[in-house]
Structure 1
Amino acid sequence: MTDTDRIAGLLVDFPVRVEIPVAWGDMDALGHVNNTVYFRYFETARLACFGELGLGQVGQSDGVGPILHSASCRFRIPLTYPDTVTVGARVGDVGEDRFAVLYRAVSHRHDAVAADGESLVVTFDYQTGTKARVSDELRVRLRALRGDAE
């Protein structure tokens, strides 16, 4: 089994994947990647997920777009330079005005899961400054990316 196959196996349930090199500057004084950087890795994957969902620039037509409600991370192994992480993203639960995005960061150097995370994304009307309902069209795309059968 190749390294690529092992990485893909750890991300089998994550249809959106981005590869990110670990930068020297990502590390902190303790010699490992700073905890805040993992949230940047997740952000990169979330934006790739938004691209797959067709969530472009906010305010394209109706002024409704995504806004981050909360984010969490479960650190599993420390990352260090040099390394590359592949971060997978997938859609979790879908609610009336929100949906979850789940993440997994996999270290190429260690062939192991470095972190798992989750964020809650609210659909937000930027014109009125209030939450908005997940549109039927977006709901269909979220379910399709999640792999739900209709």
Structure 2
Amino acid sequence: MQDLYDYPVVIEVTVAWGEMDAFQHVNNAQFFRYFESARVQYFDNLKILDYMNNYARGPILASTNAKFLAPVKYPDTLSVGIRSVQLESGRITQEYAVWSHETSRLVAKGESLLVFFDYKAGRPCEIPPALAESILKLEPYLAEKASS
């Protein structure tokens, strides 16, 4: 699980029996919940939810996808990593990786696009500079990508 070091935010998820489907593995839709839980932790680390409450601006999920690499079965614990791979003026592209503790392998990958949104005006907006600064502090390599 060395690749976990590439992700600034990693959460641990215990697989529940009820997440399995008729094919005796975790239902594919459940992985989007794992991604969501990692994304919420990422937001918590940056205090984005506080910012949304104070200024009515914040990210909204525009799209997401997943690639399933291996089945996951109960019982298992998963490590779910999240990182931003592109920071633009009003959007963030993020990647997810899910590792199984039981099988010691990468079992799923995903990506999402978040658009920053002004909830009062009802339209997309720029990422506020203070928030962009916080993201770059958590993930300094994004500044290098933007300048190249």
Distance 1:57 1:146 in 2: 20
Structure 2 gaps, min length 5:
none
Three-state SS of the structure 1 residue aligned to 2:49 is coil
Pick aligned residue for 2:19 from 8, 23, 26: 26
| Equivalent in the alignment of 2:104 | 111
Over 3 Å counting, the alpha-carbon distance change for 1:105 and 1:92 in structure 2 is: same
Q: Residues 140 and 59 of structure 1: is their aligned pair in 2 closer, same or farther, counting only changes over 3 Å? A: closer
Match of 1:60 in 2: 53
What SS is found at the alignment partner of 1:35? coil
Residue 9 of structure 2 corresponds to which residue in structure 1? Answer: 16
Write the letter of the residue equivalent to 1:127.
K
**Residue of structure 2 in register with 1:129 after alignment:** 122
CA RMSD of aligned residues (A): 1.4
TM-score by length of 1: 0.90
1:94 aligns with 87
Once the two structures are TM-superposed, the CA of residue 58 in structure 1 deviates from its matched residue by 6.4
- Identity level (%): 40
- Residue 37 in 1 paired to residue 46 in 2? no
Task: Provide structure 1 residue ranges, at least 5 long, that are not aligned to the other structure.
Answer: 1-6
Q: Is the 8 A contact 1:98 1:120 kept in 2?
A: yes
